[in-house]
Amino acid sequence: MFRKMLFIALTLFLSISTARAAVVWEWDGTTLSGAGNVDVNGTLYDVKFMDGSCVSLFTDCDSADDDFAFTTPGDAGDAAQALLDQVLLNPPFNPLGQGFDFIPGLTAGCSFSSIFCTIFIPHTIPIGGVGLVALAGAENSPLDPDNTVTGDRSINLDLGDVDDEVYAIFTKTAVVPIPAAFWLFGTVLLGLVGFSKRRKAA
């Protein structure tokens, strides 16, 4: 009985300590402005959907390493796919009951008159591409399956003037430290496991 209870407690401890936070939609009842805890290749990010130019939103948009969360086409494409898989969901896959894929206009920066909404993630300042930024995008539409797209845009183009495009600004989610008492509990459990094994061996 003791060993069974110990096993249950240890399993619970390990599952809690390794659990990932759930996605949190930033939804005010009319507009999806972003989300928290978006998992991109094992790292959690908070993302905001914002209109504006690359220059205005990404610290002058002049250095990929300094200005962008992702600096390769592959990583930015993975971030775009994460938006499609984890954020731009229809019911019953999101608890808000909203058709974020069916209705592109629910996403901040995109118009209800648009058939598509493309959420762009900048990743590279092209060599020789004066005034351009290379982008990966998550494109959702009621007409076509979700897909990722690529392209270039002028660093000064204000997407506020474009009905069906918006930027995604990714920042790493702040890590909430696990309370010391939780780790103490885990240490005690491991000690009990060791004690149980020694007692059995004796």
**Is the Cβ–Cβ distance between 47 and 83 less than 8 Å?**
yes
Read off the tokens for 192: 């009990």
pLDDT of residue 9: 43
pLDDT of residue 189: 42
pLDDT tens, the chain, 202 aa long = 545 444 444 343 434 443 558 999 999 999 999 999 999 999 999 999 999 999 999 999 999 999 999 999 999 999 999 999 999 999 999 999 999 999 999 999 999 999 999 999 999 999 988 999 999 999 999 888 789 999 999 999 999 999 999 999 999 998 654 454 543 444 544 454 454 555 556 5
pTM for this entry: 0.78
Alpha-carbon span 137 to 118, nearest angstrom: 6
Question: Could you count the other beta carbons within 10 Å of the beta carbon of residue 147?
Answer: 14
pLDDT of residue 129: 86
Domain ranges of the chain: 21-201
pLDDT of residue 182: 44
- Size (the chain), residues: 202
**Is the Cβ–Cβ distance between 49 and 36 less than 8 Å?**
no
Q: Is 171 exposed, middle or buried (0-12, 13-18, 19+ CB in 10 A)?
A: exposed
pLDDT of residue 170: 98
Alpha helices in 18-166 (DSSP H): 54-57, 64-67, 73-86
Read off the tokens for 42: 């094992």
